[in-house]
Amino acid sequence: MGKIKNVPFRVICYVIMIIFLFIYLFPLFYVVNTSIKSAQDYMQHPTTITSTWQFSNFVTAWNKADFGKYIWNSILYTSVCTLASVLMSLLLAFPISRRYVPFSGFLYFLFIAGLFLPNGMIPTFQLILKSGLYDTKVGYMLIMTGVSATAVFFYTGYFKSIPKELDEAAAMDGCGYLRYVISCVLPLSKPAVVSMGMLSMIGVWNDIVSSTIYLTTKTNYNITRGLFVFQGQYSNDWTLTAAGLLIVAAPLILAYIFGQRYIVDGIMAGGVKA
């Protein structure tokens, strides 16, 4: 009888899930549908399902936006910034979570408070400009690299699930602090590292605001800057824009598909212990 009574509730839950799934996937479907339309078909029927299937839009978008030139810059920026951000956040969050540094609670509070502070873009711009790093790859990577308050909050909660006895055992065996964090804590924190790494990767790869401000030379452009070529003074080529958006998003989609298991595990473990 209990299962029968729960049927209406389960049906309502499934209906709500389907509605939210539709809301989430419809924009993606619309972009995919637009990307394979011809310009004429889009002008005549912008919201209908395409009947032209013009996959050459992706080749045209790739060549027109010079994605082949900019993608290597994006790979460099994303790799360096993600690796540096993850390691710095990890090395800061671990001693705070274990209270190995004085005023650990206060430091943790400062990081959490940083989540609510506005972005200091103006002083950052002045600092980069006066240091001679404006419009350079190094300067841009310094801007995009940093200790994320979200990562510190997440790692701190996750490290509480790692027994503190491992620290004591490693110390008794003569293992140094840095070696212990890199060789022991890092492998045990793989789900959390992948989760925060994905967030950092998305932020750097999809960045368009900072790249517009700090990069003015085409040789330093990241891949998202290539999307500007589809914007005209009086009209936009929406079919090529949609194809370009999918090209830019494809690497992140593939990375998420291969790392989703670690992401879910990391969020579950970090969220419970936080």
pLDDT for position 72: 93
Domain layout of the chain by residue ranges: 65-273
Is-contact 35 239, C-beta < 8 A? yes
Percent of the chain with pLDDT strictly greater than 90: 28
pLDDT for position 159: 86
What's the pTM? 0.85
- DSSP summary character for residue 118: P
pLDDT in tens, 85-104: 988 888 888 888 888 888 88
Predicted confidence (pLDDT) at residue 138 exceeds the cutoff of 60: yes
Short-list 248, 236, 229, CA closest to 42: 236
Res. 25 pLDDT band, cuts 50 70 90: confident
SS3 48: coil
Burial of 64 (0-12, 13-18, 19+ CB in 10 A): middle
pLDDT in tens, 205-253: 999 889 999 999 999 999 999 888 887 655 678 899 999 999 999 988 8
pLDDT in tens, 26-83: 988 999 999 999 888 888 888 888 888 888 999 999 999 889 899 999 999 999 999 9
Q: Label residues 154-183 b or e (16+ Cβ within 10 Å = b).
A: bbbbbbbebeeeebeebeeeebeeeebbee
What average pLDDT score do residues 2-11 get? 68
What interhelical angle do 190-205 and 238-273 show, nearest 10?
A: 150
pLDDT for position 235: 65
Short-list 196, 228, 246, 168, CA closest to 93: 196
What average pLDDT score do residues 119-135 get? 88
User: Token pair for residue 256?
Assistant: 């998420």
What ranges in 37-120 are assigned the alpha helix state H?
Answer: 39-44, 56-64, 67-98, 104-114
Q: How many CB atoms lie within 10 A of CB 208?
A: 14
Short-list 179, 159, 166, CA closest to 98: 159
Burial of 114 (0-12, 13-18, 19+ CB in 10 A): middle
Predicted confidence (pLDDT) at residue 274 exceeds the cutoff of 60: no
The residue assigned the tokens 């967030």 is: 199
pLDDT for position 270: 52
CATH class of 65-273: mainly alpha
What average pLDDT score do residues 106-131 get? 86
Res. 264 pLDDT band, cuts 50 70 90: low
SS3 112: helix
What ranges in 36-66 are assigned the alpha helix state H?
Answer: 39-44, 56-64
Please, what sign has the CA dihedral across residues 196, 201, 206, 212?
A: positive
What average pLDDT score do residues 113-127 get? 84
pLDDT for position 120: 78
